[in-house]
Amino acid sequence: MGNKEQSMSIVLENVIVSDANSAKKVNLRIENGLISALDENPLPISPGDTVVAGEGKLALPGFVNAHTHLPMSLFRGLADDIPLDTWLREHIWPAEKRLTAADVYWGSLLSLAEMIKSGTTQVADMYFHTDSVARAVSEAHMRATISYGIVANKLDKHGKDELAMARETIERWHGAANGRIRAALSPHAIYTCGRDVWAAAIDLAHEKNVPLHTHLCETRDEVAWSLTNLGQTPVLALNEIGAFSIPTIAAHCVHVSEEEMAILAQRSVTAVHCPKSNAKLGNGHAPVVSLLRAGVNVALGTDGAASNNGQDMIEEMRMASLLSKGALEDPTALPAREVAMMATHNGAEALGAGARRISTGEDADIVLVDLSGVDTVPAYEPFSTLVYAAHGCDVTDVIVAGEFLLRDRKLFTIDEEQVKYEVNRRFGKAFAN
Ligand SMILES: [Zn+2]
């Protein structure tokens, strides 16, 4: 769906922006995909400008969901409240084997629609049928780093085929959609890829100059497996193989020691905290406060919707903060502004794209959150209201690279009814239809 407003400049009037110290009302001009002006005084309006009244709305850099598997929205609620191993072996993996390229396309669009409607502008994805994922991202006009998830014990025929798929994904999609799509290389995890496979993947990442995106220290079983089979923890093993010579996005980092945190910080690894998925699968809670204190860049992710069961970054921020406070018995742990930085700035830093803050010259990836609803007034402090009170449905407008993807809660680039119809037609049970 095109829109004649898309190529014109946008003026956001009287939106609330907040930095580390204070909140204020400003006016923003967006043109050529960038924030071109920010002023507390009214901006001149030209004929053809799209003017948005922003009273009562907080303007934020778009949320960056730094770890997910977009098509897994198809398995939302498929199998809950069961042990992780049973969940994977008896439900998720068999269901994934049956997925077609078309299923993956519709599942990706379903997640992207949910993401846009809750303020996410950029995502790091790992899956298969990556052409379908990329096509959905491209059509949705989202910003994304996509990757093919490599699972191979040896560099045999299967291992080489997996690496070839990963190479193809990079060659086909890195820099596509006016640069909004980038690619990464994703050996799935230390326990699902053999040493030779890791070494070949690292070589390929160097050759293509793309980051690594993997799962790291998600479960106690993973650490135990690594100690038994490799004689060292996953972080030490990957460091020795040379993985961290490449910018690395490491999902989870739940079971890491102080020594390992120091390595992650020193090697510029981004830890992606996925608190809901970790809690729901009974895997524990990542030592987020310690990771941040150690100097690690910590971003935020939902993981796939099968273990979440959504893709809503406002809920993820709230979960991150509350679980840290509860686990540490400390109400000052992970305050609202810090967790909002993780969900925006730190994710954009990790992926090397998108807006890191609301200021001139930044990419115009902006979301407006209505703080005037019955769930949010009186909004004493914008970030406290956002993290502890607001909901995804309070996001009214979403702009990526200067284009509206959501305006007044209406999706511009995705036909929501068609997506729901296709997903229900393929996967829906009687209750959902
Ligand atoms: Zn994952």
63-351 CATH: 3.20.20.140
Delimit the CATH 3.20.20.140 region(s) of the chain: 63-351
- pLDDT for the residue numbered 84: 84
**Angle at CA 305, nearest 5°, toward 345 and 169?**
70
The CA 135 to ligand 1 mean position distance, Å, reads: 21
The sheet carrying 297-300 orders its strands as 212-216, 248-252, 270-273, 297-300
Contact 132, 104 (CB under 8 A): yes
The CA 68 to ligand 1 mean position distance, Å, reads: 6
How does pLDDT run along the chain (433 residues), one tens digit per residue? Answer: 444 444 579 999 999 998 767 889 999 999 999 999 999 999 999 999 999 999 999 999 999 999 999 999 999 999 999 988 899 899 999 999 999 999 999 999 999 999 999 999 999 999 999 999 999 999 999 999 999 999 999 999 999 999 999 999 999 999 999 999 999 999 999 999 999 999 999 999 999 999 999 999 999 999 999 999 999 999 999 999 999 999 999 999 999 999 999 999 999 999 999 999 999 999 999 999 999 999 999 999 999 999 999 999 999 999 999 999 999 999 999 999 999 999 999 999 999 999 999 999 999 999 999 999 999 999 999 999 999 999 999 999 999 999 999 999 999 999 999 999 999 999 976 454 4
The CA 252 to ligand 1 mean position distance, Å, reads: 8
The CA 103 to ligand 1 mean position distance, Å, reads: 19
Q: Which CATH architecture has domain 4-61+357-416?
A: Roll (2.30)
The CA 146 to ligand 1 mean position distance, Å, reads: 13
The CA 396 to ligand 1 mean position distance, Å, reads: 28
Phi, psi values for residue 431, rounded to 5°: -65, -30
The CA 213 to ligand 1 mean position distance, Å, reads: 10
Delimit the CATH 2.30.40.10 region(s) of the chain: 4-61+357-416
The CA 410 to ligand 1 mean position distance, Å, reads: 29
| CA-based R_g, the chain, Å | 21
